[in-house]
Each structure stands twice: as C-alpha cells, then as structure tokens.
A and B are shown apart, each in its own frame.
Chain A
Amino acid sequence: MGPALDRRLGASPLGNRQLGQSFWPDLGNLLSAVTRAMWITLLNLFRKPVTVHYPDVKRVYPDRFRGVLALTYDKETAEENCIGCRLCEYICPPQVIKVEMLKTEKRNFAKTFTLELYACEFCELCVQVCPTDAIIMMKSFDLATGDRRELLLDKDRLHTIGLQFDPSWATGNGLRDMQTPPKAPAAEHAKPAAEPAKPAPEQVKAEGKAAKVEGNAE
C-alpha cells in the first residue's frame, strides 16, 4: 500500500486537510484531525509495552554480540592461547592494546597485556587478526563501574572475564574462514590467493600517472 507518486502540489493521499480555508471545512478538518490521531494513541494504550525490565530481565543476546573483550585458555592444554605476537596491538584503530612478548624455549607468551576498555571501539578487528583465537568478545557488556581505572584491563582481569561470561561466536580463525573466498577459482572470483595480495610493482608502474576515476558499476 503506497500513495501514487504523481500528485498535485502538496496534496496528500488522505485528503487535503488545510487550515485557514473557511469556517466549515476548517471545523471539519479539525475534528477529523482530533479523532484520527487520538484513535492511534488509544490503540497503543492497549498494546503491550515493549519495555524490557533490565536488570531483572535480560535480553537474549544474539550469537555474534560484540561485548567486552577477554583472553582465553586452550581447551586441551589449559595454557594461555596468547603468543604475544602483537598483531592486535597494531591493528587496533584507537590503539588501546599494549602487549609485551615473553620468549621461552617452546613458545612465546604475553608478558603484559593491557587493554583500555574505556577507549575501545568494540570493532572486533583485534579478534579478526588473532592467529591463535586468544582474544575474543563476550556476550555481555556489563562492566559499568564508578572508577575508570577498573576499565584498564590487565591480563589477569581479561582471563577472568573470559571465564565469567559467555563467549560470542566470533574468533579470529572463524572470521577469517567466513571471509576468505574458497581456493577453487571460478568466473566471478577475483583473487583467490591465500597470502595477502601485495600490489605487484609492475602494476604500479603500469598505472603511470594517477588517473582520475569516477565511481562506476562494479
């Protein structure tokens, strides 16, 4: 149901209701305005309110909910997943993550891992790049506090959060698997390569001078 698009100047599909024409039409318009608008409000008076009685009742969060961040342990070996590679530190747009690596003979760990949750954007890019699925997001945002320093999460706190709430669906490998196109080349796919595509130097030379390109159909 939609009104016809070609209509006279300023006319409405529900009739031309104007004020200031003359007495009886004005009166009629006023009365009809009153009854119609009041009818809609009366209807809503008897609809159930949409209020969710938080915090007594909590909403069901969807699988992919981006909540607070946490560090995880490996399921089999109960070791920390984080290898201190600092990829998350580099990709974070507001630069809230700071990591120091600790090298041991077998594998690397994170010596310190701080995350400033008060400046975090919850963009999930750190989760996206993590090679070991160490950092993930939880299905909860409930960390409100009166002191900002409590939101400067250190490694222990991040691990505690990881055990406290339900994890969200997204992990680094999961996201990358979802996004990476399959290896078999097909007509529509562009570059199915697995390694990051660097622009070949020949391509840059072939471009020559910068050419102004308008946005066109892809």
Chain B
Amino acid sequence: MDIESRQVLEMGYGGAERITMNMGPQHPSSHGVFRAILTLEGETVIAIDAVIGYLHRCHEKLGESLTYTQYPSIASKTDYVAAMTSELAYVRAAETIGKIDVPRRAQYVRVIAAELQRVASHCVWLGTWCLDMGGALGGGATVFLYCIREREDVLDLFEALTGARLLYGLHQVGGVRYDIPAGWGQQVRATVDKIDRRIDEFEEMLESNAFFMARTQGVGVASRELAQEVGISGPLLRGSGVNYDIRRAEPYSSYGDFDFKVPVETAGDCFARYRVRMVEFRESIKIVRQALDGLPEGPISSRPGVKSVGQVRIPKGEAYARVEGARGEVGCYLIADGGAKPYRMKWRGASFSNLAILPHIIPGHKVADVVAIMGSVDPVFGEVDR
C-alpha cells in the first residue's frame, strides 16, 4: 500500500475531494530546488511526496577524480551555507586514515571557524524561516534583512581570514591554510558581542509575538521515538528530546577543551527546534570566546604547504569522519588506496537524512504549516543532492 493510501485510511478521511498540488522546484520557500507533491483535502495536507535531485552535481565522482589537495575547496559546495563543516569532515576522514596529527593551533582555528559558521548558518535559517512564514513583502522580510545584516558581519570576519565570503577552502589535510591575521581577535570579539545583543532583539520580536507562537507551537511534532527511528540529526533531534551532539559524544578537534551546553527540548514541534537553535547561537558565541582566549601558539599545519597536486598521499584504509554541522551530522566516508586520490568517497548529508521526516510530520497540517515545518527542518539542497 502506498504511503498516501495508508495515511488516508489512518486519518479517517473518506470520500472528500482531494487535489494534488505541486510545490514545485521553483518556489519562493522551497529552500532550494525541491519538489513537494502535496495531496490536499481542502486546506489539509494528506500526503507529501518529495522529489529531489535537481541540484545533483556528482560530488562523489568528483571526489574520486580530484586529489586530497584539490577537493577541500570543492567540499564547501555541498552545504554552501555552512561550508567549512563539509571541508572539515573530508579532511578529518583523510587525516584519520593517514594517522596525521593536527597541531593544536590549527584545531582551535578550526573550532573558531566552525562555530562562527554555525552562527552565520543559523542567521540564514532564521531569516529564511521568517521570510517563509511572513511573506517576502511583509514582516518576514524584515527579520530576514536583520539576520542577513548580522551575517554580513560574520562574513567580513571570514573574508579577513581567508579572503572569501561564502566558499572558503580553509582546511587542508594536516591543518588549515590560513593563519589568523593581526587584529582579527578583536574584530571577532566585537562582532560576536554585537550579534549577542541583536539576538536578544530577534528573540524579543518573535517570542513575544502571539502570531509567531501560534504558527510554530504544536506544529510539526516529531516524537522522540520517531526522531530516533527515522535517523535525523542535529537541532531536529535535539528538539525532540534526544540529547545527542557529536561534539559531546565523540569530541573532535579539541572540542573537549571547551565548556558549552547542548540545548535539548522535549516538545518536538517547530518552536522547540527554534529554541534549540537560538540557544545554539549563544553557545557558539561562548565557544568562540573561549577558543580565542585559549588560542595556543604553533604551526597551523603539520604538513608543508601544498606545492604540487599529488603531494598528499594517504595510505590504504577507510574511515568515516563526522562533524556536528549546523544542520546535523555531516559525514564523509573515505576509502583510500595509497595514491593521491581516494578510491571512493561518500557524503552523508545532514539535510538528506533530515528530509526523511517530512512524510511523517506534515500530513494532517494545513498548507501554511508545510512552509513552517520545512523552514524548521532547514534543508540545504546542496547537501541533499550533492
């Protein structure tokens, strides 16, 4: 029995007229190219069928044809909103197989970059979610522009560090490519303080707003069992009551040195996921401050700078490295065969697994809730389609 018939029977709808509506790949709120075929009865969604693959760019094949020196720059392009997460997963996999140590300064720089990246990614999440809920010509656009304004400051920091604003190429096998320039620490602290204050404003604007609460509370509830069964990760999982964060479960890149809380909410609805991410904003800022305070001196890479394309050779082995990205667990499974290119590379995209929850939590809600739920799931289709 297909999922639609099963859900129709489960929910007891009978006989009323049903229409099939397409929230097509070109849609202002599909967060990328995503096609959702909705079956509606009146305003209620009965079934959703998701079609993906519009953004497939053969990353895994590229991983086989590009060397370990070339691919980290390309890895950014899977999750282009939080680019450094994907790079980190790839280089960590290579370093694990090759048993390559990463100097502590490089680890701290990686942590600072990853947490700032999380702040920037959550800015995009909040802005686009409110944009979806409020309309491009309405209050949603206002919150969107405020968030983008804060994100621009974080991107200025990245620009001072690497030279690029969106897709960085910061990581290399063995460490990072760029060291912290003079005065960057002060710049980071000033920006981070400002964002801390502005987040208070956003929270004030949204949480005291009965409209916002009415649209997010009780909407898209994912129970704890469902969350664990379907295999989602990240803020979705923590919003459903499962206390799991890779930074705590298997600390990588010196995360064990830092003191931060992992927010967990039990409600499982859109509002719970929103609260988790808002707390993550603040915790990321805390980690950045601690990392800057404790930044050790030393080299930024354990291997010499790249001089030729086949310089890095990883011995035979396989490894799966995962990092806690802004959207969940981003993993890279690498099979190395001793040469300069991997034999096989597989991406575990956080959004790809997170999308699996949609057919379970959307049916029964109205069309307007579909966008609210999709926004709280926060997919990025570069990760989904790779």
- Mark A residues whose CB is within 8 Å of B: 1-3, 5, 9-10, 12-15, 17-20, 26, 29-30, 32-33, 36-37, 40-41, 44, 50, 61-66, 87, 90-93, 121-125, 128-129, 131, 137, 168, 170, 175-182, 188-191, 193-199, 203-204, 207, 210-218
Contacting residues of chain B (132-178) with chain A, CB-CB under 8 angstroms: 139, 142, 146, 149, 152, 156, 159-164, 167, 169, 172, 174-175, 177-178
Size band of the interface chain B makes with A: 35 or more
The 29 sampled A-B contact pairs (Cβ below 8 Å) are A10-B269, A12-B213, A17-B208, A17-B209, A18-B210, A36-B208, A62-B181, A64-B160, A64-B161, A64-B163, A87-B307, A91-B306, A93-B71, A121-B74, A125-B69, A170-B163, A178-B177, A178-B300, A179-B301, A188-B103, A189-B103, A189-B299, A190-B103, A190-B302, A197-B304, A199-B315, A210-B316, A215-B92, A218-B95
Q: How far is the CB of B70 from chain A (nearest CB, A)?
A: 4
Given contacts A64-B160, A137-B163, A177-B305, contact A182 B208 (CB under 8 A): no
Option from B156, B162, B305 in Cβ contact (under 8 Å) with A180: B305
Q: How far is the CB of B104 from chain A (nearest CB, A)?
A: 6
Q: In the complex the two chains form, is A93's CB within 8 Å of B74's CB?
A: yes
Is B282 positioned at the interface, with any CB of A under 8 Å from its CB? yes
Give bound CA distance, A210 to B366, whole Å.
51
A-B contact count (CB 8 A): 242
Q: In the complex the two chains form, is B73's CB within 8 Å of A125's CB?
A: yes
Give bound CA distance, A26 to B93, whole Å.
54
CB neighbours (8 Å) of B303 from chain A are: 181, 190-191, 197
CB neighbours (8 Å) of B211 from chain A are: 19, 33
Q: In the complex the two chains form, is B320's CB within 8 Å of A91's CB?
A: no
Beta-carbon nearest neighbor of A12 in chain B = B207
Give bound CA distance, A44 to B196, whole Å.
17
Q: In the complex the two chains form, is A18's CB within 8 Å of B214's CB?
A: yes
Beta-carbon nearest neighbor of B161 in chain A = A64
Q: Which of B13-21, B26-34, B118-126, B258-266 contacts A (4 or more CB under 8 A)?
A: B258-266
Q: In the complex the two chains form, is A19's CB within 8 Å of B210's CB?
A: yes
Q: In the complex the two chains form, is B317's CB within 8 Å of A196's CB?
A: no
Q: How far is the CB of A62 from chain B (nearest CB, A)?
A: 4
Give bound CA distance, A30 to B218, whole Å.
19
Given contacts A64-B162, A65-B159, A215-B96, contact A5 B264 (CB under 8 A): yes
CB neighbours (8 Å) of A92 from chain B are: 70
CB neighbours (8 Å) of B178 from chain A are: 64, 178
Q: In the complex the two chains form, is A13's CB within 8 Å of B207's CB?
A: yes
Q: In the complex the two chains form, is B250's CB within 8 Å of A215's CB?
A: yes
Q: In the complex the two chains form, is A212's CB within 8 Å of B73's CB?
A: no
Q: In the complex the two chains form, is A91's CB within 8 Å of B103's CB?
A: no
Option from B205, B214, B218, B321 in Cβ contact (under 8 Å) with A36: B205
Q: In the complex the two chains form, is B214's CB within 8 Å of A20's CB?
A: yes
CB neighbours (8 Å) of A14 from chain B are: 203-204, 207-208
Q: In the complex the two chains form, is B103's CB within 8 Å of A181's CB?
A: yes
Given contacts A15-B208, A170-B163, A178-B179, contact A1 B338 (CB under 8 A): no
Contacting residues of chain B (200-252) with chain A, CB-CB under 8 angstroms: 200-201, 203-205, 207-211, 213-214, 217-218, 250-252
Give bound CA distance, A179 to B307, whole Å.
11
Beta-carbon nearest neighbor of B301 in chain A = A179
Give bound CA distance, A168 to B53, whole Å.
38
Given contacts A12-B207, A175-B305, A190-B101, contact A211 B317 (CB under 8 A): yes
Give bound CA distance, A188 to B335, whole Å.
27
Beta-carbon nearest neighbor of A186 in chain B = B298
CB neighbours (8 Å) of A87 from chain B are: 307-309
CB neighbours (8 Å) of A194 from chain B are: 304
Given contacts A18-B213, A215-B322, contact A180 B301 (CB under 8 A): yes
Is B256 positioned at the interface, with any CB of A under 8 Å from its CB? yes
Contacting residues of chain B (172-190) with chain A, CB-CB under 8 angstroms: 172, 174-175, 177-179, 181
Q: In the complex the two chains form, is A40's CB within 8 Å of B319's CB?
A: no
Q: In the complex the two chains form, is B311's CB within 8 Å of A10's CB?
A: no
Q: In the complex the two chains form, is B305's CB within 8 Å of A178's CB?
A: yes
Given contacts A33-B211, A199-B315, A204-B338, contact A128 B163 (CB under 8 A): no
